[in-house]
Amino acid sequence: MIDPRSIYATVGEEGFNRLTAAFYDGVAADPLLRPLYPEGELEPARRRLALFLMQYFGGPTAYSDERGHPRLRMRHFAFPIDQARRDAWLRHMAAALDSLELTPEVRATMQRYFEDAATFLVNRAEGDPERLPLRGVSTPPGG
Ligand code: HEM
């Protein structure tokens, strides 16, 4: 595992834009995830994710300059995220990571972060879209 904050220097702005574009191509075609974006437009969400990831992985702080503290768990409460949606999100992100030419160390560090963050963002029990599971942690890694 390498320092996540060293990753922006190798992936760069173009890499994060390509990553999030490939990721949202997957989301656009996903029957579990697409309904979470009722406004239809995915580009604003793609851009917010790209800015956040650039900041988390050691790049410029444009995300917080625009959006303030990430508070990701709070910002995701509006969206019912169960294990199936978590797994779908991670599947699209893994495919997007595969579309970049990353060293094994960078790939593994990013994958690990996404798995941990996605797990922290689960906010509904399987099969019960309204119930909040009890959790001791209110802040995912990275905010
Ligand atoms: C676990 C499955 C996940 C689902 C179903 C999900 C879904 C969503 C949805 C529907 C939005 C609103 C789109 C918008 O910005 O307009 C959103 C926003 C966002 N998500 Fe996720 N997300 C997931 C995991 C993650 C993970 C793992 C990260 C970070 C590594 C992340 C980072 C973000 C960010 C930065 C925003 C924009 C927050 C803001 O500034 O308003 N999400 N997500």
**Cβ atoms 72, 117 nearer than 8 A:** yes
Locate the ligand 1 atom nearest the alpha carbon of residue 44 and give its number.
Answer: 16
Look up the CATH number of the domain holding residue 41: 1.10.490.10
Distance 124 CA to ligand 1 centre (A): 15
Residue 43: exposure state from Cβ atoms within 10 A (0-12, 13-18, ≥19): exposed
Question: Is 134 part of a structural domain of the chain?
Answer: no
Question: Is 130 part of a structural domain of the chain?
Answer: no
Task: Say whether pLDDT at 122 is over 90.
Answer: yes
Give pLDDT tens digits for 29-83.
999 999 999 777 999 999 999 999 999 999 999 999 999 999 999 999 999 999 9
Distance 20 CA to ligand 1 centre (A): 11
Question: Is 24 part of a structural domain of the chain?
Answer: yes
Query: If you average pLDDT over residues 110-134, what whole number do you get?
Result: 83
Residue type, 103: T
Residue 33: CA count within 13 A, CB half-sphere: 21
Q: Give nearest CA residue, ligand 1 atom 41.
A: 75
Question: Is 110 part of a structural domain of the chain?
Answer: yes
Q: Is 19 in the pocket of ligand 1 (CB under 6 A)?
A: no
Question: Is 109 part of a structural domain of the chain?
Answer: yes
Band of the pLDDT at 1, cuts 50, 70, 90? confident
Q: How many domains does the chain have?
A: 1
Question: Is 141 part of a structural domain of the chain?
Answer: no
Query: If you average pLDDT over residues 103-120, what whole number do you get?
Result: 98
**Whole-prediction pTM value?**
0.91
Strand partners, 125: 128
Q: Give nearest CA residue, ligand 1 atom 43.
A: 76
Task: Say whether pLDDT at 129 is over 60.
Answer: no
Band of the pLDDT at 12, cuts 50, 70, 90? very high
Q: Give nearest CA residue, ligand 1 atom 15.
A: 45
Q: The domain containing residue 19 runs over which residues?
A: 4-120
Task: Say whether pLDDT at 134 is over 60.
Answer: no
Residue 136: exposure state from Cβ atoms within 10 A (0-12, 13-18, ≥19): exposed
Task: Say whether pLDDT at 136 is over 50.
Answer: no
Give pLDDT tens digits for 85-108.
999 999 999 999 999 999 999 999
Q: Is 45 in the pocket of ligand 1 (CB under 6 A)?
A: yes
Question: Is 133 part of a structural domain of the chain?
Answer: no
